[in-house]
Amino acid sequence: MPELPEVETVRRGLLPVMEGRRILSAEVRRPDLRWRFPDRMSERLTGARVDMLRRRSKYILADLSTGETLLIHLGMSGRMLISGKMLGEFHHDHPAPQKHDHVVLEMEGGARVTFNDARRFGAMDLMPTGAADDHWLLAGLGPEPFGNDFHEEYLVARLKGRATPIKAALLDQRVVAGLGNIYVCEVLHRAGIHPRRKAGAISAARVAGLVPIIREVLSEAIEAGGSSLRDYRRADGELGYFQHTFRVYDREGEPCQSEGCTGTIARIVQSGRSSFYCPVCQR
């Protein structure tokens, strides 16, 4: 499932063709994806201007001139693809309709934005913009990793006394929004912390040190256009390439890349997810 860097990369790719532009027409080709689409979604989107395109955790939010906000969740395989618009030096002609093109937005300026989702685990919803933070998918989320509310003192307080493994604690969206399995593995390796360590047993200094590492890893991943594993594509259809710089994720059996470390990357399963780590330098 796309994590924060992938969703942020898609949002940035959509900005030039969506923000400040009207949706000339919205075609909804099925009644649902993971959940039912909102009533009259096509009618409510058509003619609306996208005043702001923002991200909350792993969700893209389009604030509309109608006073509503369109929530977009990519799910496991969802893609927001642009065609018919100059993208750098390339022009992507409108492709023939594909089987899994479920929502098509014709934008002012000539671009077409298509939500394609083969597995149909994605979602779209509409809600009043003023009440967006109360939406059931957003209400319980913790602070954004790049926001002012996420800082060393906050994280130390949130993890103090917790018996849950640090890997699970950082994946808890109520603690920090947007982190997923790939980037937590990478963060813990850079921090030298074993994924099974109990969160409350880690010193305050080491917990505080996680904050800049989280921001560093996410920033590098965004700069690289995210990580393309299986289905993920950027809005221009291209692959992200942060996967080529993974230090531990999906590298079981390979040498640890930490300077001076002689360890070999291992894999364990925690709560149904693979955790990759170095048993020598992560303690």
Q: Average pLDDT for residues 50-73, to the nearest whole number?
A: 97
φ and ψ of 41, to 5 deg? -60, -45
Residue 228 has pLDDT above 50, yes or no: no
**Residue 32: predicted pLDDT:** 94
The Cα–Cα gap between 274 and 262 comes to 22
**How confident is the model over 98-115, as pLDDT tens digits?**
778 999 999 999 999 999
The pLDDT value given to residue 118: 87
pLDDT tier at 223 (50, 70, 90 boundaries)?
A: confident
**pTM as predicted:** 0.88
The string of pLDDT tens digits covering residues 113-145 is: 999 998 899 999 999 999 999 999 999 999 999
> In whole angstroms, how far apart are CA 61 and each of 110, 127, 227?
21, 10, 21
| 268: three-class secondary structure by DSSP | strand
Active site residues: 2-3, 58, 273
pLDDT given at position 241: 44
CATH architecture of 152-277: Orthogonal Bundle (1.10)
Q: Compute the chain's Rg from CA coordinates.
A: 20
Mean pLDDT across the stretch 264-282?
96
DSSP secondary structure code for residue 121 in this structure = -
Superfamily of domain 4-134: MutM-like, N-terminal (3.20.190.10)
Which residue ranges make up each domain of the chain?
4-134, 152-277
Greater confidence (234 vs 56) lies with 56
- Could you report how far apart the first and last alpha carbons of the chain are, in Å? 28
Q: How far apart are CA 15 and CA 23, in angstroms?
A: 13
Report DSSP state, residue 29: -
* The predicted structure's pLDDT at residue 237: 53
The 8 Å CB, 24+ separation contacts for 93-98 are none
> With 80 as the cut, is the pLDDT of residue 30 above it?
yes
Q: What is the mean pLDDT of residues 8-29?
A: 94
Say which residues have a Cβ less than 8 Å from residue 134's Cβ, sequence separation at least 6: none
SS3 state of residue 197: coil
